[in-house]
Amino acid sequence: MADTVLDVKGMTCPLPVLRTNKVLRSLEPGARLRVLATDRAAVADMQAYCRESGHALLAFSEEAGVFSFVIRKKAESA
C-alpha cells in the first residue's frame, strides 16, 4: 500500500497538525501518511500530536528546509 502524501508546505502552526488530523481521520487503521511541512514548529507539534493521539510517528527527516513525517494511523479502539 502506497503512502498518502499531505503537502502542507508554507502553512504555519496550527494548520499542519489540523490538516494531518483531518486526513488521518479519512484513512483506514494502519495506513501510512507522509506529511511535508516547512514550519519549524511542526517538528514539536507532530511529535506531540502523535504521542497524544496514539498514532505512530515512524520516521522524521529534514532536507532543504522541508520536514517529512511518516505517520501510521492507530488501530481503531473497540
Q: Which amino acid is at 29?
A: P
Beta strands in 1-78 (DSSP E): 4-7, 32-37, 56-63, 66-72
pLDDT band at 5 (very low <50, low <70, confident <90, very high): very high
**Cβ atoms 60, 68 nearer than 8 A:** yes
CATH classification number, 4-72, choose in 3.30.110.40, 3.40.50.1980, 3.40.109.10, 3.40.50.1820? 3.30.110.40
| Catalytic status, residue 13 | yes
Q: Is the pLDDT of residue 78 over 60?
A: no
Q: Which of 13, 15, 27, 70 is catalytic?
A: 13
**Cβ atoms 46, 71 nearer than 8 A:** yes
Question: Cis peptide leading into 14, omega within 30 of 0?
Answer: yes
Q: What is the pTM of this model?
A: 0.93
Tens digits of residue pLDDT in 26-56: 999 999 999 999 999 999 999 999 999 999 9
Tens digits of residue pLDDT in 8-26: 999 999 999 999 999 999 9
Q: Looking at the chain, how many residues does it have?
A: 78
